Structure 1
Amino acid sequence: MLDPAIILCALISGLLMRALGQPALLGYLAAGFVLHEMGIQGESMLTAISEIGITLLLFSIGLKLNPRDLLQTRVWGTAVIHMAALQCLFAGMIWLCGQALPQLGLDLTGTLILAFALTFSSTVFVIQVLQERGEMASRHAKLAIGILIIQDIAAVVFLGFSAGKVPQLSALLLLLLFPARPLIIRLLSLAGHGELFTLCGLAMAILGAQMFELVGIKGDLGALVLGTILAGDQKAKELAKNLLYFKDLFLVGFFLSIGLSGWPDPTLLWLAIALGLLALLKPPLYFLLMTRFHTPPRTAVLSSLALSNYSEFGLIVVAVAATAGWLDPQWTAALSITIAVSFVLSTPFNTHAHALYQRWRKSLTKHQSANLRASMTPLNNTRILVLGMGNIGTGAYNAMMERHGSCVVGVDDNDQKLQQHLADGRRVVAADASDPDFWGRIDKANLELVMMALTNHAENKLVGKLLRELGYTGPITAVVRFAEETKELEEQGISTFNLFAEAGSGFAGHADAQLPDAEADPAGTREGTDLRQNFPRPDVTKN
């Protein structure tokens, strides 16, 4: 079997790309094309891995999805108008190409299908890029993913009808999945937190896809729907984290399969490259639509750049059309080149997305809507900021609030958390800590301390660097988990609190207080030994 050797080649290629500062998925694509030139083709295992990867991707998206987010005008409005505009633009261009090059054999149906395939952006690429940057919880990530889901639903609907699949009457039984949600959540709870829990999630994703296939509906939509039904529960969040690396592993097969599909003839090859270059038209249109729907310019820029590519769903659409006889099968190989070109173009823009916004910030903020500009009020009387209001951040906020009063402000990018914190009487604002526009609302001359309890190390580094670039010279503290993170942040002049190391010290202090004679001897001086001194309370502002 050649499939294990193919995957090994993908691993080596991915490592090389990562060493060059590029996403590993470009290495997988390159490995596929190189192996094709060597006459090597994938076998059944690679196909199965690829299909499971897409299923897990959609299931994971569903687990994190809040259906109310899709009802926002900035999400569905941007997605629908963008797809409609690109459909007209690409259809016109491809029709002209078909008139100039009759050998392409494009009729009106083929032209419209190709244009439709090019309207999507890549769910796989966007998720990979956002995960590597540690921005999956950001506002621009939620906006981009919401738009992707609208596009993916359109693709799945098209595939369902184009493949001749008409939902059976028994498809109505799938509605029972919604009242069954508590039972499914209960099953996940009984599975615990280990390998049985992860296996349960894998089985649910695959079972959900198979259930929809059995009643005449595209299985990918089933994985997405089942994930959406479970979304919002704590077990769903835990499951999404557990499936993360499995999803990434299986998606390697998908990217390899694109390259292994081979090359089209020279005419189609050059046309495919030209269509790939046209992916550069996507971000400006996304940005204009998003800002018209009252999206902050920075969020619009980062979302637009993430979406500046073509989609694996477009490749699936063309493959189905070729099978139905609506397109020459060579268009499948051609579109794989188009997608690869768009990935190559999109990568550097996303790598430097934050720097690009900083550079063109003055010009871009001119597109901010009047309503949004009016809402950007200064945050007065702010001396201490707590960034990230999860469990750690909330505990830090409460402690600092007791000592320093109302000059403490919490910052979080989660609207649901915001509502809960406001209901509990905390002074918390919804904002992205890595957004320079947010820091424009803060009087940094009066800011005395910034405490970073953000979700990941990459975000801590990004925010710390931004603060120094904006001229803040006061103390910054951050929660870390590993020694190498401490070293990197200290190089930026940021004091760190090692959560794992200090938690052990705090736990020992707590346990020491439970000793039988702790109340009788509160100083801890039994037999001349001050045990309490061995377990001092951790200081979050010092290493």
Structure 2
Amino acid sequence: MAIDLLYNVLIFLGAAVLIVPLIKRLGLGEVLGYLVAGVVIGPSALGLVPDAEAVLQFSQVGIVFLLFVIGLELKPARLKLMRKAVFGFGSLQVALTTVLLGGLALAAGLSPAAALVVGFSLGLCSTPLVLQLLGERGELGARHGRYAFALLLFQDLAAIPVLAAMPLLAGQGWLAEGWGPLLREALVAVGAFVGLIVGGRYLLRPLFRYAAATRSREVFAGTALLVVIGAALVMALAGLSMALGAFIAGVLLADSEYRHSIEADIEPFRGLLLGLFFMAVGMTAQIGLLAETPGTILGLTAALLAAKWLAMMAAARAYGTGWRVALNLGALLSQGGEFGFVLLTAAGAAALLDAKLVGLLVLVVSLSMAATPVLFLLHARLVRPLFKAGKRRRDFDRLPETAPQIIIAGFGRFGQIMGRALQGLKIPYTVLDINADHVEFVRRYGNEVYFGDASRLDLLQAAGADRARVLVVAVGDIDASMRIVHRVRRRFPHLRLYARARNRYHAQLLMRAGVTHLIRELLPASLELTREVLVGLGIPREQAQHTVDTFRPHDEQALRRQLEAFGNEKQQLQTLQDAARELEALYEEDEEIVTRIQPPR
């Protein structure tokens, strides 16, 4: 058993290492590479891993981790703002697509119930495929990326009641048993949904606080895995989507102080399992059917892509988006999805659809998923340059091939001061700043600044991070700062990190991430002003400086003690109160301060 498992792992890793980089080098993206790798090692080609269905079932965990990470990025307040797009745009698109595809299925001779199931099943899109494509191009935050995510979220929600109603559509036993079983299933589902939200709201933070208190990275990572898999299992046992459970858990932790640490620990599992999912999809494709009737299969695939593109364009324009967003959505969301596999298989088991028809439609969905990366790439290269309306998104700057010793991420007021000093010393450095307008303004004064997102590893690589000695994280946004730190420590561990901390909380996050060289931006200025205030009270300057010099190490020590109680608000407050009393005692013991620092009479 162990040898068979290791053999399968070796096959998957070997296929991924050999095929995925080759497909990426052709400019076709990782997703298509994993799909091709799955086809090659699957039963339809070399047959190196024969049990494709078992692999597909296990690899669904990759979608679970993907939705959890997305939930971490989506704070509840932002999710509330998206509700109109989720339910308004989502329901409009699903309704139009189901009617169009269901009408075509009805015209092909299917019964009304079967046509409805086929129309809805084929109308669903692939959540991991679309989000992976958007992530590769850094477009999750773009307008079409937000609409795509809202639509995918609604589709995942809408698929659940349809799956539950499959026996009813097939007319199997519900008349004899009454509505009782169906109502019981609905109540269990609602109870699980509410229980997960309420329980997660009150239990997740104490759980992670306990894990953080152990100061063991393995325990913390294990806790994160426990939460993801546990939330997914609760929903699965209630007959709902595992991915939905993981997404809810992620949203509940999005405002947590542990968010960045959790994301850093989960990210490796998400990437590996998502790659496995796409390989499993490739393995399940029945390529033999394509060889038997290539014209029928390819014609149906083209018809599905064209019909969904048309329905998406109509829904997007009816909802009020511009042509540019509508075209982007049409190119991105014209494929079938993994929930289509589930619904079509369930329809076959319920005798709504013929087994041969189910196999044919599953292959069509698989081919549509494989075609999407290519179509989206062609759209990006050929159609997007023709867009006239709206301001074109600026491409990141080309970075110089010479690798400086220092890279500065963020060139606002903080980074500019350091840059001016380095420039005066004739020490070369490269600056990356995400604000395009800011970059243009700073360049007018002769500074070498490049437009780019320092959290993107490919841009850091291009900036020479693999050969540089120092990275200064001077960005003002705490979330962006921590993203850069976590990714750089994993990918470029040799880089010495120096960071700007906005406040004590940010400083604690940086210290937890292993950053030892950091400056709290307000501390030096506050202490300098404190010194001047004391001088203004008539205290000699050297004595005022002595007071400030006494405060600084004491405050650093208090910060480290707070770090030990990170996540425990009550204990942190107690630490601050103890530190205040200690400082008073410290000043009282310092005879020089006591005798010299007295307010004038």
TM-score tier, shorter chain, comes to 0.5 to 0.7
Question: Match of 1:454?
Answer: 453
Question: Match of 2:91?
Answer: 80
Matches within 5 A, 1:19-58: 19-34=25-40, 35-37=42-44, 38-39=46-47, 40-42=49-51, 46-47=55-56, 49-58=58-67
How big is the shift at 1:319? 1.1
Q: Does the alignment pair 1:183 with 2:203?
A: yes
Question: Match of 1:416?
Answer: none
Distance 1:295 1:243, change over 3 A: farther
Q: Are the equivalent residues in 1 in contact too, given 2:100–2:311 (CA < 8 A)?
A: no
Q: Choose the corresponding residue for 1:110, options 92, 114, 121.
A: 114
Question: Match of 1:396?
Answer: 412
Distance, in Å, in 2 between the alignment partners of 1:398 and 1:213 is 49
Distance, in Å, in 2 between the alignment partners of 1:485 and 1:75 is 46
How big is the shift at 1:169? 5.0
The higher radius of gyration belongs to: 2
> What do residues 473-501 of structure 1 show as CA deviations (whole Å, max 9, x unaligned)?
xxxxx977434999xxxxxxxxxxx9985
| Deviates most, 165-174 or 341-350 | 165-174
Q: Does the alignment pair 1:212 with 2:228?
A: no
Matches within 5 A, 1:480-499: 481-483=465-467
Question: Match of 1:93?
Answer: 104
Q: Does the alignment pair 1:222 with 2:245?
A: yes
Distance 1:197 1:353, change over 3 A: farther
Which one-letter code corresponds to 1:194 in the other structure? R
Q: Are the equivalent residues in 2 in contact too, given 1:452–1:460 (CA < 8 A)?
A: no
Matches within 5 A, 1:348-363: 348-356=374-382, 358-362=384-388
How big is the shift at 1:117? 1.0
Instruction: Extract unaligned runs of 5+ from structure 2.
Output: 168-180, 393-407, 421-431, 471-487, 501-515, 525-540, 543-601
Question: Match of 1:63?
Answer: 72
Distance 1:395 1:29, change over 3 A: closer
Distance 1:401 1:181, change over 3 A: farther
Q: Are the equivalent residues in 2 in contact too, given 1:14–1:24 (CA < 8 A)?
A: yes
Which one-letter code corresponds to 1:345 in the other structure? A
Distance, in Å, in 1 between the alignment partners of 2:409 and 2:83 is 29
Distance, in Å, in 2 between the alignment partners of 1:201 and 1:82 is 35
How big is the shift at 1:211? 1.8
> What do residues 23-80 of structure 1 show as CA deviations (whole Å, max 9, x unaligned)?
3332333344343134552278625531322322333333333454464544433222
How big is the shift at 1:90? 0.9
Distance 1:345 1:211, change over 3 A: closer
Distance, in Å, in 1 between the alignment partners of 2:92 and 2:414 is 45
Which one-letter code corresponds to 1:210 in the other structure? L
Distance, in Å, in 2 between the alignment partners of 1:83 and 1:304 is 13
How big is the shift at 1:95? 2.2
TM-score for the superposition, normalised by structure 2 = 0.59
Q: Does the alignment pair 1:273 with 2:273?
A: no
> What do residues 174-215 of structure 1 show as CA deviations (whole Å, max 9, x unaligned)?
534434424302322443483333322222122112223334
Question: Match of 2:155?
Answer: 151
Distance 1:481 1:281, change over 3 A: farther
Q: Are the equivalent residues in 1 in contact too, given 2:124–2:339 (CA < 8 A)?
A: yes
Distance 1:4 1:42, change over 3 A: farther
Instruction: Extract unaligned runs of 5+ from structure 1.
Output: 99-105, 377-391, 405-409, 413-430, 462-477, 487-497, 521-543
Question: Match of 2:256?
Answer: 233
How big is the shift at 1:144? 1.4
Question: Match of 2:12?
Answer: 7
Question: Match of 1:330?
Answer: 356
Distance, in Å, in 2 between the alignment partners of 1:322 and 1:202 is 34
Distance 1:188 1:350, change over 3 A: farther
Q: Are the equivalent residues in 1 in contact too, given 2:301–2:364 (CA < 8 A)?
A: yes
**Identity of matched residues, %:** 24
Distance 1:341 1:55, change over 3 A: same
Q: Choose the corresponding residue for 2:191, options 172, 176, 201.
A: 172
Distance, in Å, in 1 between the alignment partners of 2:242 and 2:456 is 36
Secondary structure of the residue that 2:43 maps to in structure 1?
helix
Distance, in Å, in 2 between the alignment partners of 1:258 and 1:503 is 41
> What do residues 256-287 of structure 1 show as CA deviations (whole Å, max 9, x unaligned)?
33333334756876444323213144345435
Root-mean-square deviation (Å): 4.5
Matches within 5 A, 1:358-507: 358-362=384-388, 365=389, 396-397=412-413, 452=451, 454-457=453-456, 481-483=465-467, 503=497
How big is the shift at 1:115? 0.9
Distance, in Å, in 2 between the alignment partners of 1:214 and 1:140 is 34
> What do residues 355-409 of structure 1 show as CA deviations (whole Å, max 9, x unaligned)?
44542112xx2xx7xxxx9xx9xxxxxxxxxxxxxxx8777245659999xxxxx
TM-score for the superposition, normalised by structure 1 = 0.65
Secondary structure of the residue that 1:308 maps to in structure 2?
coil
